Amino acid sequence: MSISTNDLKNGMALNLPEGLMTVIEFQHVKPGKGGAFVRTKLRNYRTGAVFERTYRADEKLTLAIIDKREMQYLYRDGDGFTFMDNESYEQAAVPETALGDAVKYLKEGDTVILPTYQGEVVGVELPASVELEVTQTDPGVQGDRVSGAKKPATLETGAVVQVPLFVETGDRVKVDTRTGEYLTRV
């Protein structure tokens, strides 16, 4: 199914030669001389890379229909992850490569949105932040309270984040899933 560049909207998915893309922003430009064009900013669904592309006005692009399903993460099986559809209760195995960096923030029982295109999972939409337990970190040295000082901490999912010195093993912390940064102790 094709769509004109004049009808683009933010969040729309496109199947382009460069891969599966989503429209982040677009701008119609009508210069004094020459034909009108559309300047776009696109994000690759699989890699997260951002591209800027310019198209002629009314150029035809291929629209991609992305099916988004709310699914619960059940367990890891080898190099795959098993999810259950929250409506139909069907289980689906998803390869680790399709999930990318999101695996660092997934724990059993979490609910996420899995976008699929032609039956293939093309990514994962996590909540903006997750709460995870610190499984290992060095103890903060008494009297070492330099403002802004950080130390590495390993979380229950295996992710390593920089945390303030007062965070200890066993604490629960909130982590931003977009940047991987420590937000607060819970």
Tell me, yes or no, whether 76 and 58 share the same domain: no
pTM of the model: 0.73
pLDDT in tens, the chain (186 residues): 888 988 989 889 999 988 888 899 999 999 888 889 999 999 887 777 888 999 998 889 999 988 888 999 999 888 889 999 988 998 988 888 888 788 888 888 889 999 888 888 888 888 888 899 999 988 876 666 666 788 889 999 888 999 888 888 899 999 998 888 899 888
Sign for the pseudo-dihedral over CA of 80, 75, 68, 102: negative
Measure the CA–CA gap between 126 and 47, rounded to whole angstroms: 15
What is the domain-level CATH number for residue 113?
Answer: 2.40.50.140
Ramachandran assignment for 109, one of left (phi > 0), alpha (psi -120 to 50 degrees), beta (any other):
left
Tell me, yes or no, whether 53 and 76 share the same domain: no
What is the domain-level CATH number for residue 26?
Answer: 2.30.30.30
Domain ends where: 44, 62, 80?
62
Tell me, yes or no, whether 134 and 87 share the same domain: no
Contact of 129 with 170, CB cutoff 8 Å:
no
Tell me how far apart the terminal alpha carbons of the chain are, to the nearest angstrom: 47
Tell me, yes or no, whether 7 and 57 share the same domain: yes
Q: Which domain holds residue 175?
A: 129-185
Q: Quickly list H helices, the chain.
A: 96-99
How many domains is the chain built from?
3
Return the number of other C-beta atoms located less than 10 Å from residue 31's C-beta: 8
